[in-house]
A and B are shown apart, each in its own frame.
Chain A
Amino acid sequence: MARRSAPEVNAGSMADIAFLLLIFFLVTTTMEKDKGIARQLPPIQDSNIIPPKIKKKNLFIVLVNKNDQLLVNERSMELKDLREAAIEFLDNGGATSSSPDYCKYCKGKRSISSSDNPNKAVISVQNDRLTSYNTYIAVQNELVAAYNSLRNRESKRLYGWEYTEIKQEIDAGTYLGDKEATQEKLKVIQQLYPLKLSEAQPKKTGN
C-alpha cells in the first residue's frame, strides 16, 4: 500500500490573512510630507551697531494687535487686501528715471510717496504677544505670496516659466534639465525682488 501523502494545506485563506495585514498597514500609514513657510532668522547683532536708516516711504509696516486686526501704514486693513497692498508697495518703483535707484522692470504706479525700488523696500511686521499664531502665519503667507507673484511675473517675462513652479521642481528633485543654470536664473529673479521681511520685537504689553 502506498503511503498516503500528507494532505495539502489549504491556501485559500491566505488572501484573507494578507488582506487583514494590508488593511492594518493602510490604516497606520501616514504619508508624511511636511510643508511650510521657510524663514531665515537674523543672527544676533551687537547692540552698539547702529541700524541703517530706512526712509519712511521705503517701509511697509504691518502691525497686528492682540485681536488679530491689521494696521498697515497707519490704516486698518482686512487680511484679504494685504497681498494687493504689498504688491503695490513692492512694485511701485518710485525713483525717477535719472536716479540710480530707478527700477526698469517695475510696473507699479511710480508714486513718489511709496517705495523707490524693490531692493530698498522693506516690509516690517510687528505682532503683539497675544496675536494668534493663525493670524501670524496668514500674514506671513500673504506677504510671501506678494513676493512670489512678482517673482513669477518677472520669471515669465525673462525666461517663460513660473518661478514658484520651477523652484518646487528643483526642490523635489524632479526638474529635468540643467539644474545649475536654472538655479542661477532663480537667483537672478530673487535679486530683482529680494525678500526683505523684517520682524520687530513684539510688544510686551497686551495692548
Chain B
Amino acid sequence: MFKKTSIAVALSLSLLVPAVSHAEGAVVGLITKTNTNPFFVKMKEGAEAKAKELGMTLQSFAGKVDGDNDSQVQAIENLIAAGAKGILITPNDSKAIVPSVEKARKAGILVIALDTPLDPANAADATFATDNFKAGELIGQWAAATLGDKAKDAKIALLDLNANQISVDVARDQGFLKGFGIDLKDAKKMGDEDDKRIVGNDVTQGSEEGGRKAMENLMQKDSGVNVVYTINEPAAAGAYEALKAVGKEKEVLIVSVDGGCPGVKNVKDGVIGATSMQFPLLMASKGVEAVAEFAKSGTKPKNTDGLDFVNTGVELITDKPVAGATSITSEEGLKKCWG
C-alpha cells in the first residue's frame, strides 16, 4: 500500500521522535451521527475494513439520535483518553462540537470531519465530504434537460429534511434549484425563493412516512406538481407512494440524492428519475488512510482545489441520460451503491 520510501521515512522518524511512530496498532476513532442510518453503518464498515488492512485499531462511537451533541463530546473525551492518533467525525452539531475538537487537536490528534463540515470548516484538520451543492445541481440540471421546453412551466415540490436549515439540507435544495435554473436569492437559506414554478417546501425527516405526507400536502396545494426534489431516497420512495395513490406516478419526475442500493434499484424501476450518488465508504476509508499517513509522517491531507474540503465525489445515476450531464446507468450504479 505504501511506498518503501515512506516506510523508510517513517522508520527514520520513529528513531528520532518516538511519539510519531508508525500506523501499526495506532488507535483511530470514528464518531458518526447515529448508528441507525445505513449511510453511517456503511461508513463504519469502510473504516473497519481499511483499519484492519493497515493494522490499526478502530474505536467507533455514535450519537443516540440525529442532533445528539453530548454523546459525541463524550466520545471525543474517551478517544483523547485512549491516546487516539486520529478522529473521524460526522458532527451532529457543527458549531457546538468545535471546543471539543480543539481539545483533541491540542492533544496532538488529527481530526477529520466526514460528510458534514464543522463550522468554521477549518476547526478540523480536514473535511472529507460529498459536494452536496454539486449533488443537487446535477439532478436539477437533469430535471430541466429532461423537461426541455416544458421546464419553464414546471411545478416543483421541494421535499426537504427538517425545519433547522442544516448545511446538507440547504446545499442539496439550493443546488437543485440552481441546476434547474431558478434564482436562489440567499443561497444559504431554503424557502426564500419567489419563483412561481415552486409550489412549496415541506419537511420529510428523511423518511418514507415523512416523504408521503409532505407529497400529499403539497399536492393539496397544487395538484399539478410535475417535478419533485427529495432530500434522500427514502423520502423519494414515500413521495412515489403518495403519487401512486392518486394515479400520478407516471406524470411526475422524482429526483433525489444518496446512492443507497434501494434508491438505485428504484432508479432502475423508474420510481426515481435520477439520483446523485455519494460515497460514504470512500469517505471513511480515505479518512483512515489519512490518519495512518499522519501517524507515520505527520502530514495532513490537502483540500481539493477550489473547495474548502476534500471532495470524495458524486455521480449522477439515471437510465435516461441527457445531453450536458455526465451520468452512469442504474446497472453500473448498483455495483457502487451502499446500504
Q: Do A and B come from one complex?
A: no
